[in-house]
Structure 1
Amino acid sequence: MVGPPMRPGLFRACARSPHLPPPRASSFGNFVSVSFPPVPAPLAQALEARGYADPTPVQAAVLEPALAGRDLLVSAQTGSGKTVAYGLAMAETLLDGAESLGPAGAPLALVIAPTRELALQVHRELTWLYAPAGARVVSCVGGMDPRRESRWLAEGAHIVVGTPGRLRDHLERRNLDPGALRAVVLDEADEMLDLGFREDLEFILGATPAARRTLLFSATLPKGIVALAENYQQEAQRIAVAGETRGHADIEYRAFRILPRETELVVVNTLRQVEARAAIVFCNTRNAVRHLQAVLTERGFSAVALSGELGQHERNAALQALRDGRARVCVATDVAARGIDLPGLGLVIHAELPHDAEVLQHRSGRTGRAGAKGISVLLVPPSRRRKAEELMARAGVVPVWSGPPPADEIRTLDQERLLEDAILTEEPSEEDRAMAQVLLARRTPEDLAAALARAYRARLPAPEEVTDPGFQTGKPAPARREGPRPPMGPSVWFRLNVGRRDNADPRRLLPMLCRRGGVTRDEVGAIRIFERETKFEIRGGAAERFAHSFGRTGPADLQVEALPGVPDLPRKPFRKRG
């Protein structure tokens, strides 16, 4: 069964120079050397066809000649190239010196993965890698039609890739014959134990031949993994890829100080600031995923959701939309996002902090893969500052702390991006030039430039006004202020030229007033919104500073004026309690 082509994530892409010699044949019989070390000729052909030359550290480690035929216990982070690593490592065992695998029958290799997405991803990788060897690769995962999988197995397979529960089901129903297995791979074994698959794994391994070769790959090696290896591997060689305990070198970590009620607004601004080809936003619950995906869609982002409540067809559709560019943002829970690999994923946002350092690394490891750079952003409210610092310390990462991306900075970035946009950089056609002459005859260049800027902004989600709480990091959190808020004292009332008809809302107005007016939240008093205007008070000592600062910052369409005395405000309606 041949799956769709997948982005090769395992040998780092390297365009072959015309001045470089072709891969040289080695003295290993049916082996050809692709840079180093030697791999079977059919697989070398597949790698060369995709333009891959230099192995990643984990690939080079498992292909050491001294490890041929041995059981392996490998600790390596996600995105390190481990799928092709074990695909190449087991090739000699499966081919046994032959040029091809011959007719498909009982499977020769079994690969077990924790999630449907990872299993299907592995299926795609092994399909292209083993295609020149004539391999038939079959997937068996939960959420798919088990009767169709039974037919595939009955027709024969060389390699079977699946999730623990579905593979156990096929073994119990005698659809999967383990008698001819030469190699078994456990991919992301630590996650399989975390998800409660220990009993299924022990059942599957117990049903396989004792003489099989077992390759166990895991991002971390907790006691449960070591115990599994001792029980089901024979004198396994342990391989620890250098740097697996540190933050990924290709990921830049940022920590934004935020107010809890502005989480959604900061997510919007972060997506707008970074402008990654694809981004993933992590939440801790299904409800939070649903809500945030709806918020982002309403604000103009092409966003999809991934959570456990979705069926396999919906999950596949969401992932395909991200891969082909129809969607740019994925909002997901940890479980739903395990194992997914998205091309061009340049940004990970932790809208809610993960529960432990390993989850932080797994989340962040969705980006910065195969040599590409990525950004991982943690949104940290004051009450979670200490938790965030502990998580990052345990994960071995040092973030850059700052406030959230301000709206003015994003507007400045938009101006720079417009100058580099294809609408300005592409060579105009004759039809374009003719239309330009007509427009110039009827409008001034300034009017046309303004129209271009307006059209460019219209296709972008608007940035939000957000607040930097300004708490210190690396020091004990300040004691929470007890008692009521201090009285305002003498104050000055102002009028702002936006109201309900402009969708004015205190939650957005307050941070904007603080930022543009150079005042703190405690220096802003009552805010009353009317149909066409908003009236608010500023503590007397800060009023002059506010008026001076507001007029010098931000767009000129927002205007304030000081009011004489205290305005006559209607009373708020009395609401009876109970």
Structure 2
Amino acid sequence: MLFDELNLIEPILKALKHEGYTQPTPIQEQSIPLILKGKDLLGCAQTGTGKTAAFAIPILQLLYQQKQQHKEQKTIKSLILTPTRELAIQIEESFKAYGKNTGLKHLVIFGGVSQNPQTEALRRGVDILVATPGRLLDLMNQRFVNLQHVQILVLDEADRMLDMGFVNDVKKVIAKLPQNRQTLFFSATMPKEIQSLADTILHQPEKVEVTPVSSTAETIQQAVFMVEKSNKKDLLLHVLKDKSIETALVFTRTKHGADKVVKDLQKANITAEAIHGNKSQNARQRALTNFKARTTRILVATDIAARGIDVDELTHVINYELPNIPETYVHRIGRTGRAGASGIAFSFCDIEEHEFLQDIHKLINKTIPVADHPYPPKQGTMAQKLQPKTNSSQNRGKGNRSGENLRGRKHSSSSSRSRASN
């Protein structure tokens, strides 16, 4: 199916063509017609499925058509709530890209920066507001934001809202919205509390489910490197000697760990920056901009900071430390292999993390192949005993050895650009 077949208006089709997108992803194909009909939606979709465009495109169309019929009013007509600043910025960028021919006004608001430019823009009037819950409540309490005219609410990454302790803030915001509205609810996982929230705010929703969270995209090649903790730094430098890895997103569990990895890489003359909660908003945004522009080769991130990072044609994700929550592994590697493009995910596993690896295998229902490398665990150590015995003849040519075809695969330009990936 093509976007041309989804009954989209010309201003939006023109913008999509300009972005190089012709073919919707499965969630876009299923969601856009339902949202255009005014239905409430429960979308269970992991990151990288193209869900931002799945709600941004129909919202732009509905509001544009309404603007054509009625005199323009300076009221917020659509509110998108999202857990992190980075994700909020990227969602607003999507509205800007797809809505550039519509004349609709959009604004993103988040904490950590001066509120003055945000309140000035609110005074001038916006149609679409993208916000993180904390700053939104703050501006509501100061009476800068009036939500009485909101017609479409989007709750994005609801499970991460729960993880970050925002659910009560979200409930406070929802209490200020009109009862008669359209609600679009997206979550990669559906824990009980999130299901309960969905049940209370959705009215006869249509359910759209794309790739359950326990599965990883088939387009992502995965490999695990069994290694002692003390050798992880040298292993990372070894892996990055491969010049076909033009950029990579590296994950650590802690902010301190992220800063340490950046220092190690910079000492080796590899351009690297960290993105985590202790960095100022400007520093985080600058690091992300540099990474997207490829002036920084390696972006090192913690999980909360990385949620929502959407970089076109990111080929490699490296788990310097494995996450202790298996679903987080799926989210991490979902940064690559987005919207049908191919990608590669390497994971470094030491003895203390082996339990995490077993949990990941259970969740994704597959065993990640083990890669050979120059820093294997010492003979007789627990890590060496845990190293799965690989049948070399079986593994040859399957891309699970560090020197073989696993590293250098590029995205196919047609698949990565023809689908609206964010």
- Fold conserved between structures, TM > 0.5: yes
Determine the structure 1 residue equivalent to 2:385.
Answer: 471
| Cα pair 1:101 1:133 within 8 Å, conserved | no
SS in 2 for 1:214: strand
Determine the structure 1 residue equivalent to 2:349.
Answer: 380
1:302-341 deviations in Å (ceiling 9; x for gaps):
0001121110111111111111111010111111211111
- 1:72-151, aligned counterparts within 5 Å? 72-96=41-65, 99=68, 103=72, 105-151=74-120
| Cα pair 2:106 2:129 within 8 Å, conserved | yes
Determine the structure 2 residue equivalent to 1:333.
Answer: 302
- 1:178-257, aligned counterparts within 5 Å? 178-257=147-226
| Cα pair 1:253 1:398 within 8 Å, conserved | no
Cα distance, 1:103 vs. partner? 3.8
Determine the structure 2 residue equivalent to 1:526.
Answer: none
- 1:380-459, aligned counterparts within 5 Å? 380-404=349-373, 406=374
Determine the structure 2 residue equivalent to 1:6.
Answer: none
Instruction: State the distance in 2 between where 1:100 and 1:339 align.
Output: 35
Cα distance, 1:161 vs. partner? 0.6
Determine the structure 1 residue equivalent to 2:258.
Answer: 289
Determine the structure 1 residue equivalent to 2:312.
Answer: 343
Q: Which amino acid aligns with 2:293?
A: D
| Cα pair 1:109 1:183 within 8 Å, conserved | yes
| Cα pair 2:273 2:296 within 8 Å, conserved | yes
- 1:566-577, aligned counterparts within 5 Å? none
Instruction: State the distance in 1 between where 2:219 and 2:140 align.
Output: 41
Q: Which amino acid aligns with 2:18?
A: A
Determine the structure 1 residue equivalent to 2:143.
Answer: 174
Structure 1 runs (4+) deviating above 6 angstroms are none
Determine the structure 2 residue equivalent to 1:451.
Answer: none
Instruction: State the distance in 2 between where 1:138 and 1:199 align.
Output: 23
More displaced stretch, 384-393 vs 206-215: 384-393
Instruction: State the distance in 2 between where 1:343 and 1:54 align.
Output: 16
More displaced stretch, 282-291 vs 267-276: 267-276
| Cα pair 1:255 1:377 within 8 Å, conserved | yes
Instruction: State the distance in 1 between where 2:115 and 2:337 align.
Output: 35
Pair 1:164-2:133 in alignment? yes
Classify 1:165/1:266 alpha carbon distance in 2 versus 1 (closer, same or farther; 3 Å): same
Classify 1:157/1:368 alpha carbon distance in 2 versus 1 (closer, same or farther; 3 Å): same
Classify 1:370/1:274 alpha carbon distance in 2 versus 1 (closer, same or farther; 3 Å): farther
Q: Which amino acid aligns with 2:141?
A: E
Classify 1:274/1:389 alpha carbon distance in 2 versus 1 (closer, same or farther; 3 Å): farther
Q: Which amino acid aligns with 1:78?
A: T
Classify 1:286/1:136 alpha carbon distance in 2 versus 1 (closer, same or farther; 3 Å): same
Classify 1:54/1:102 alpha carbon distance in 2 versus 1 (closer, same or farther; 3 Å): farther
| Cα pair 2:188 2:213 within 8 Å, conserved | yes
SS in 2 for 1:39: coil
Instruction: State the distance in 1 between where 2:12 and 2:321 align.
Output: 42
Q: 2:327 aligns with which of 358, 363, 367?
A: 358
Structure 2 unaligned regions, length at least 5 = 379-383, 390-422
| Cα pair 2:35 2:58 within 8 Å, conserved | no
Instruction: State the distance in 1 between where 2:191 and 2:273 align.
Output: 34
Cα distance, 1:385 vs. partner? 2.5
Q: Which amino acid aligns with 1:306?
A: I
SS in 1 for 2:5: coil
Classify 1:134/1:101 alpha carbon distance in 2 versus 1 (closer, same or farther; 3 Å): farther
More displaced stretch, 59-68 vs 212-221: 59-68
Instruction: State the distance in 2 between where 1:287 and 1:267 align.
Output: 17
Q: Which amino acid aligns with 1:82?
A: K
Instruction: State the distance in 2 between where 1:97 and 1:317 align.
Output: 37
Cα distance, 1:98 vs. partner? 5.3
SS in 2 for 1:107: coil
Cα distance, 1:41 vs. partner? 2.8
SS in 2 for 1:471: helix
**If you compute each CA radius of gyration, which structure gives the higher value, 1 or 2?**
1
1:494-538 deviations in Å (ceiling 9; x for gaps):
xxxxxxxxxxxxxxxxxxxxxxxxxxxxxxxxxxxxxxxxxxxxx
Structure 1 unaligned regions, length at least 5 = 1-10, 12-32, 407-465, 476-578
Instruction: State the distance in 1 between where 2:65 and 2:244 align.
Output: 48
SS in 1 for 2:348: strand
Q: Which amino acid aligns with 1:287?
A: H
- 1:517-528, aligned counterparts within 5 Å? none
Instruction: State the distance in 1 between where 2:96 and 2:376 align.
Output: 50
SS in 2 for 1:269: helix
Classify 1:209/1:170 alpha carbon distance in 2 versus 1 (closer, same or farther; 3 Å): same
Classify 1:390/1:238 alpha carbon distance in 2 versus 1 (closer, same or farther; 3 Å): same
Q: Which amino acid aligns with 1:396?
A: N
Normalised to the residue count of structure 2, the TM-score between the two structures is: 0.86
More displaced stretch, 121-130 vs 97-106: 97-106
| Cα pair 1:100 1:133 within 8 Å, conserved | no
| Cα pair 1:101 1:135 within 8 Å, conserved | no
- 1:282-321, aligned counterparts within 5 Å? 282-321=251-290
Instruction: State the distance in 1 between where 2:242 and 2:362 align.
Output: 26
- 1:30-69, aligned counterparts within 5 Å? 34-64=3-33, 68-69=37-38
- 1:497-508, aligned counterparts within 5 Å? none
Determine the structure 2 residue equivalent to 1:155.
Answer: 124
| Cα pair 1:42 1:100 within 8 Å, conserved | no
SS in 2 for 1:310: coil
Classify 1:305/1:104 alpha carbon distance in 2 versus 1 (closer, same or farther; 3 Å): farther
Q: Which amino acid aligns with 1:143?
A: G
SS in 2 for 1:354: coil
Q: Which amino acid aligns with 2:59?
A: M
